Structure 1
Amino acid sequence: MASVTIDKRQKANGEFSFRCTVRVKKNGVIIHRESRTFSKKELAKTWGKIQKEAVELNSIAKQNKVITIGELLDLYFNDVDLWANTGRTKRYVIQMLRDCPLASVLSNELKSSDLVNHCKMRRAAGAGGATVYHDIAYLRSVMKIALPVFDVTANWKIFEDAVPVLIEMKLVGKSQKRTRRPTEYELERLIEALTERQNKQGSNIPFVDILNFSILTCMRIGEVCAIKWEDLNKEHKTIIVRDRKDPRKKEGNHMIVPLLAGSFELINKQEQTESRIFPYNSKSVTAGFQRVRKSLGITDLRYHDLRREGASRLFEKGYSIEEVAQVTGHRNLNILWQVYTQLFPHKLHDKFST
């Protein structure tokens, strides 16, 4: 720790001068000393304060490593404990950042202009504001733990100044609310084409059953392909969905989900060949869906939109938001209503015909 002293001295002409001395001691021994004389005490105090902070910052930099952002990302990548608990999106972003010009910047010298240039480059490559925001958010999270985990000095506080600027420049932003639902005609065509695909020799994935089950249960495809026979309660027509996705609780978030409409019957159709009810790779299911969708010329429809379709159907059937949340697994009811609901106005007529 540095110390500052100011000595008042009288010159031969009777005027006073002020000598400021900055010292650094280690184990009782002075290892650094510098001084300067001023005509006014306030000038001496100001200089002393500035020099003291500079010496202390320099001391910290010497104690801790300074490396490039790319090297810091590599440290994060190679830390088993950190990487194992990192989500798929964040992993992709970190690996992508490793190959960007930003990776060559020293971790303690990152400036707002570096972030602005990175965001402009990403925008020019076609990335949207919400996608680019992931770059900034995930980089900040890595830099924030650099010192306590890796003894690396990183200027993570620069994000406090940079983010408002990036938002004002519209280089980053929130994702647009997605409202896409498949029409009845699109679903009919998808089911017809998927039936043809699964009937081909060598195909063993029941695409149509999985598609209908995804809609009726509002499950993510990863959840559909993970549910097990041992978690099925035939008496209550429910199933346990384990480790359900939740931003606040990534593990142990098990939920009992009701198997509504024909979803229970779809399960009973499946052969019990192993522990999982739908023992298929979720990526293979999604890939098959995408190929069929593309061949039909259906645009801007993702497999995850089936989850919105299912939730919207439940609302149209008259289920309350709390009841729908029991199916979808949402803890935050606002997100359920705002993101996973897109009602067809013409369906409101059905209320008067029943």
Structure 2
Amino acid sequence: MLDRYLTGHEKTMAGIRQRNGKWQARVSVAGKEVSRSFLTKTDATRWAREQRIEMERAISMGLAGHVTLADVIDRFAEEVLPLRRAGQKDRYLIRRFRAMPWAELPIIKVQPEHIVQMRDLRLREVSTGSVRRELDLLSSIFTHAIKEWRLCRENPVLSIRKPSPGRARQRRLLQGELERIIAASQAPDFEPIVLLAFETAMRRGELLELMWENIDFRRRIAYLPLTKNGEPRQVPLSKKALSVLKGLSPKIEGKVFTKNATTLSGAFQRAVLRARQVYVEECVKSGRRPDPKYLTDLRFHDIRHAATTRLVEHGLSIIEVSAITGHKTLSMLKRYSHPDPVRLAKRIENIGVASIDSGVV
């Protein structure tokens, strides 16, 4: 555990040997050695393990006086980030943490007020949701330093108030918007990606990581071995989704799409701007006033919202919808599905009203 800081004979060593009818356990950490004898090898082994942990912890806490938060961030980026699904996105955030002036403090001296300073600064720059994600990542770094590296005892992020999640995004795709956006795009593979997103409700990252070998055309299933919530998922494919995939000339293996997240998001925003410009020009020619909400304030992720809402409005149960979309809780699913109130009104217009006299409550 301490190999990053200790070298040569200073490293941890432990040994169990039988001597004079007893079992002797010997533990050496950073040049300090302790030993003890036991009647059984099991007791000797247990004691050696516990003693090594305690001695390493004591050494770690001493070293923590010299290990800065920046050192810990660098180590986290090197050892932990490659194992995380959102590693590349997190790497950008970690560089931001690294640039904070208090990152050069010993990790044991980083206080909640430092985190509050960062939180308040970022709230003036980005949304509350983004700040919450940044705080969660920073908290993960401290937690790892506590549990795995034993470099500090407290996580200052847990001592501060996180900003509220805010209201769920309510933007719905309006009639014709998706078709106009597709028509306005000049990027290769843009149309199949957008259509598949709408047909499957997959996340952007799931679409871009989709592999040909994980698509079962016979069973009409796309298998996602790793998703945002950490669990695999099988996504059913509609006839339209199958048609889109078959139109891409399926291969035996490899990624279905070659775009990355940044490229796709940029292409989507450019297509929205072009589509809006065409729409405004059409309105001017016909003497109509352009709708200020049409083809504005749109994100690629809104396609997932629209797809999820469509599944709900087509009568699928919450359990069925969550199996398709991968939402683990009802609260999250509610944030992503926004049934049209007008449609709901039509569905209930023929529901009979029980008569008070009938005794039905």
TM exceeding 0.5: yes
Once the two structures are TM-superposed, the CA of residue 311 in structure 1 deviates from its matched residue by: 0.8
CA distance in 2 between partners of 1:236 and 1:261 (Å): 12
| Alpha-carbon contact 1:66-1:108 (below 8 Å) kept | no
One-letter amino acid of the counterpart of residue 346, structure 1: V
Instruction: Find the aligned partners of 1:220 and 1:275 in 2 and give their Cα distance.
Output: 21
Distance in 1 between residues matched to 2:236 and 2:33, nearest whole Å: 68
Does 2:220 align with 1:241? no
TM-score by length of 1: 0.67
Deviation at 1:302, TM superposition (A): 1.1
State the Cα distance separating 1:276 from its structure 2 match.
4.5
CA offset digits 1:305-331 (Å, max 9, x no partner)? 111100101111111111212321223
- For residues 157 and 212 of structure 2, the distance between their equivalents in structure 1, rounded to whole angstroms, comes to 48
Is this contact kept in 2: 1:267–1:277, CA < 8 A?
no
Aligned 8 A contact 1:107 1:155 in 2: no
Correspondence 1:121 to 2:121: yes
Cα distance in structure 1, aligned partners of 2:249 and 2:344: 39
Instruction: Provide closer, same or farther for how the CA distance between residues 260 and 352 of structure 1 changes in structure 2, counting only shifts above 3 A.
Output: farther
Which range moves more in the overlay, 274-283 or 134-143? 274-283
The structural deviation recorded for 1:282 is 3.6
* Aligned equivalents of 2:62, 2:208: Cα separation in 1: 52
Secondary structure, aligned partner of 2:109: coil
Identity between Structure 1 and Structure 2 (%): 23
1:206-262 residue CA offsets vs partner (Å, 9 max, x unmatched): 32232122101111233223334433333332232222221xx3xxx3322211252
In structure 2, what is the equivalent of residue 287 of structure 1? 266
Structure 1 stretches lacking a partner, 5+ long: 1-25, 29-56, 199-204
TM-score (norm 2): 0.66
Indicate yes or no: 2:310 matched with 1:313: yes
Find out whether 1:340 has 2:336 as its counterpart.
yes
Distance 1:134 1:190 in 2: 30
Q: Check conservation: 2:309, 2:336, Cα contact below 8 A.
A: yes
Distance 1:100 1:296, change over 3 A: farther
Q: 1:259 to 1:111 in 2, by over 3 A?
A: same
Q: Could you say which residue in structure 1 is the equivalent of 2:297?
A: 300
Measure the CA separation in 1 of the matches of 2:255 and 2:83: 27
Taking the TM superposition and a 5 Å limit, the aligned residue runs for 1:214-293 are: 214-246=197-229, 249=230, 253-273=231-251, 275-276=253-254, 278-283=256-261, 284-293=263-272
Consecutive unaligned residues in structure 2, runs of 5 or more = 1-31, 35-56, 277-294, 350-361
How far is the alpha carbon of 1:113 from its aligned partner?
2.3
Code of the residue aligned with 2:191 in structure 1: it is V
Residue matched to 1:85? 83
Letter in 2 for 1:305: D
Aligned partner of residue 184 in structure 1, secondary structure: coil
* Distance in 2 (alpha carbons) for counterparts of 1:144 and 1:179: 34
1:146 corresponds to which letter in structure 2?
A: A
Q: State how far apart, in whole Å, the 1-side matches of 2:265 and 2:332 are.
A: 24
What SS class does the counterpart of residue 296 from structure 1 fall into? Answer: helix
**Is the contact made by 2:69 and 2:105 (CA closer than 8 Å) also made in structure 1?**
yes
Change (3 A) 1:70 1:346: same
Q: Which letter maps to 1:214? A: A
**CA gap 1:212/1:135 in 2 versus in 1, 3 angstroms:** closer
SS of residue in 2 equivalent to 1:347: helix
Contact map agreement 1:68 1:105 (CA 8 A) in 2: yes
- 1:239 is paired with a residue whose SS is strand
Is the 8 Å Cα contact of residues 110 and 155 (structure 1) preserved in structure 2? no
Aligned ranges for residues 1-354 of structure 1 at < 5 Å? Answer: 61-62=61-62, 64-79=64-79, 82-86=80-84, 87-88=86-87, 89-124=89-124, 126-147=125-146, 149-150=148-149, 152=151, 154=152, 156-160=154-158, 162-163=159-160, 166-167=161-162, 172-194=163-185, 197=186, 205-246=188-229, 249=230, 253-273=231-251, 275-276=253-254, 278-283=256-261, 284-297=263-276, 298-336=295-333, 338-348=334-344, 351=347
Indicate if the aligned counterparts of 2:65 and 2:108 stay in contact, CA closer than 8 A.
no
Structure 2 CA distance for partners of 1:64 and 1:274, relative to 1, 3 Å: same
Q: 1:315 touches 1:324 (CA, 8 Å); kept in 2? A: yes
Structure index of larger Rg: 1
**Count of residues in Structure 1 that have an aligned counterpart in Structure 2:** 276
The one-letter code of the counterpart of 2:242 is F
Partner amino acid, structure 1, of 2:141: V
User: Residues of 1 paired with 2:132 and 2:232: CA distance?
Assistant: 30
In 1, the alpha carbon distance for the partners of 2:236 and 2:228 equals 17
Task: Summarize the Cα distance change of 1:129–1:156 in structure 2 as closer, same or farther, 3 Å threshold.
Answer: farther
- Partner Cα distance (2:142, 2:178) in 1: 46
Shift of 1:157: 4.1
Query: What SS does the corresponding residue of 2:323 show, helix, strand or coil?
Result: helix
| Gap change, CA 1:66 and 1:227, over 3 Å in 2 | same
